[in-house]
Chains A and B, each alone.
Chain A
Amino acid sequence: MELHTLTIHEAARLLGTREISAAELTHAVLERIDAVEPLVDAYITVTKDAAKAAADAADRVIAKGEAGPLCGIPLAIKDLICTRDIKTTCASKMLENFHPPYDATVMEKLNAAGAVLVGKANMDEFAMGSSTENSGIKPTKNPWDLARVPGGSSGGSAACVAADMCLGSLGSDTGGSIRQPASHCGVVGIKPTYGRVSRFGLVAFASSLDQIGPLAKDVTDAAMLLNAISGYDPRDSTSVNQPVPDYAAGLTGDIKGLKIGIPKEYHTGEGIAEAVSSAIEKAMAVFKDAGAEFVEINLPHTDYAVAAYYVIAPAEASSNLARYDGVKYGLRDPQSRGLRDMYNNTRSKGFGAEVQRRFLLGTYALSAGYYDAYYKKASQVRTLIKQDFKNAFAACDLILAPVAPTPAFKFGENIDDPLRMYLSDVFTLSANLAGVPGLSVPCGFSKEGLPIGLQLMGNYFDEAAILNAAYFFEQQTDFHKQKAGLMP
């Protein structure tokens, strides 16, 4: 048996019956990393020794019969989630040697559950990008086609799941950064409702949009991970005190009477690849055959989402990342003369081009004389987008749409044209602006064999509905069982 190919729920069962040990499982995953990481480059740091020690500790807990469902499960964590004493770089020269003095809340929860951290996953620098080409360390390759990007910004988190270099991972999603790479790499990824998962210890990009979520080999695994990381946290003042259902237990696969909203703005737009629209249509037929009801809905401000997002997100980023001043942590340019010179040199050397571009854009939008025309206007349009979703959910239980207009693109295809790269986020960033949950589940392949994801968006705090619908879809199809033909 190739242990690294197991899902979390399969591995948990085998660990529970003592057919395998956590040490064996972690060993298999580390061997897989040795074999295919040189091809994929999904990790910034592999925590080999700590992983072995954590696996041994998990085996002791299992022996005592006290293990929960994630005990002994090897996971990867996006490198912008703080891990105590383990390098957390945000894929930036600015934080190349940053060792956080504390764990993020999600890490505390995973550690308490006995999960095994095997490594920190690559990403676009400070989560700004849709391809991992903006990583200040290295680009990650798509396991399905090494000449293509894995998507981004959680490209490493998606690629290492697709390449079986971990059993599941955590990413973060500010405008699609979990769902789009999940779609491009053929894995399941969910962005929870804003406030569902604590952001304490998540390095901030755009605080009103950022949310941590899982990437996994199937929906059951995603639900198990979401169970472990959700919940109110007093250390995150935007965390919401709402009861958390057992997402894994809620997966019945029963969708009778489900009302699925079809927003025409997401299905008729220009630039949707034929492979994507045909996969989405086939997916709709699967739901229809099982008795789901389709409702035509309108999200009339969809066409303005990209523009609003690319004012709001850079504005928040330019303010949030002002903290990198070369004083408290991170890079400092030693050649500088005086404080002001030190600030400017440190920031210019520490941040890559895309991060600097967003600072300029955000600072422009917030600067004297432009605030009302840009930031305030975009925030008003955000209200209208939110209202669109509220109106839509009065008529349906969830919304079905594509994740990305095309399958994974080639390296270099969009990198010289930032606007074109931004436009590829058109179907995902409305969920962040509105704060609703969304997921990507594999729903087909292009002619070239590239995975395509189906997006389901849910009402506020109703992750259970989209997970259950995705679970139903998975039971009817085998797209999630296909593996990237990665030959070490």
Chain B
Amino acid sequence: MKISREEVLHVADLARLTVDDEAVGMFAEQLGSILEYVEKLGAVDTSGITPTAHAVEMANAFRKDDTTHHLQRDAALANAPEAEEGHFIVPKVIE
């Protein structure tokens, strides 16, 4: 299956990745061969088959709406690349 450079760039953008020129060609070729292999799924008759999202059947897991163990603010911020006065700092969002 042929994956174009444009398709790689489009998908990379959706995945929030910047892919350099050389890597675009490599990814196009590799994705093409992987997707070509995946095409074999088309040979399986799946009409009327319910998709499986989880291996073990389970119902919704509800819990009581009680306050339990939670992270203290300082601990939650300790790994932030940038934090100030109890907040995460992010680059300017609105120009």
Contacts and interface: CB of A to CB of B under 8 A. Distances in A.
B79 to A, nearest CB: 4
Contacts of B55: 194, 208-209, 386, 432-436
B79 A360 contact: no
B17 to A, nearest CB: 5
B51 A361 contact: no
Given A208-B54, A344-B17, A374 B38 contact: yes
A344 B92 contact: no
B67 interface: no
A362 B44 CA distance: 21
Given A238-B54, A357-B27, A377-B42, A338 B90 contact: no
A359 B11 CA distance: 9
7 contacts: A208-B54, A303-B40, A339-B91, A342-B90, A379-B51, A381-B44, A382-B52
B31 A327 contact: no
Contact of A380 (B8, B17, B35, B50): B50
A339 B92 contact: yes
A209 B52 CA distance: 12
Interface in A314-348: 318, 322, 325-332, 336-345, 347-348
A445 interface: no
Interface stretch (A65-73, A97-105, A120-128, A474-482): A97-105
Contacts of B52: 379-380, 382-383, 386
Contacts of B8: 360
Given A380-B52, A418-B30, 13 more contacts: A101-B75, A208-B55, A327-B88, A330-B81, A338-B91, A339-B91, A357-B27, A357-B30, A359-B17, A360-B27, A364-B35, A377-B41, A381-B46
Give the secondary structure class of B's interface.
loop
A179 to B, nearest CB: 16
Interface in A352-400: 353, 356-357, 359-364, 367, 374, 376-384, 386
A352 B7 CA distance: 20
B33 A193 contact: no
Contacts of B34: 310, 361, 418-419, 422
B77 to A, nearest CB: 9
A332 B92 contact: no
Most A C-beta atoms less than 10 A away, residue of B19, B34, B51, B52 = B52
A378 B41 CA distance: 7
A311 interface: yes
Could you tell me the dominant secondary structure of chain A's interface residues?
A: helix
Range of interface residues on chain A? 35 or more
Which 6 pairs, one residue from A and one from B, show the smallest C-beta to C-beta distance? Answer: A435-B55, A379-B51, A332-B81, A329-B79, A237-B61, A380-B46
A303 B44 CA distance: 10
Contacts of A380: 44, 46, 49-52
A361 B31 contact: yes
Interface string B29-70: 011011101101110101001111111101001010000000
Interface of A: 97-99, 101-102, 193-195, 208-209, 234, 237-238, 240, 301, 303-304, 306-308, 310-311, 318, 322, 325-332, 336-345, 347-348, 351, 353, 356-357, 359-364, 367, 374, 376-384, 386, 418-419, 422, 432-436, 460
A243 to B, nearest CB: 15
Contacts of B16: 322, 325, 340, 343-344, 347
B21 to A, nearest CB: 13
B89 to A, nearest CB: 9
A176 to B, nearest CB: 15
A360 B50 contact: no
A175 B78 CA distance: 33
B75 to A, nearest CB: 4
Given A238-B58, A360-B8, A307 B18 contact: no
A389 to B, nearest CB: 10
Contacts of B6: none
Contact of A356 (B17, B37, B76): B17
Contact of B78 (A101, A336, A338): A101
A100 B24 CA distance: 34
A382 B51 contact: yes
Contact of A101 (B18, B76, B91): B76
B82 interface: yes
A209 B53 CA distance: 10
Interface centre among B18, B34, B58, B76 (most CB of A within 10 A): B34
Contacts of A419: 30, 33-34, 37
A327 B18 contact: no
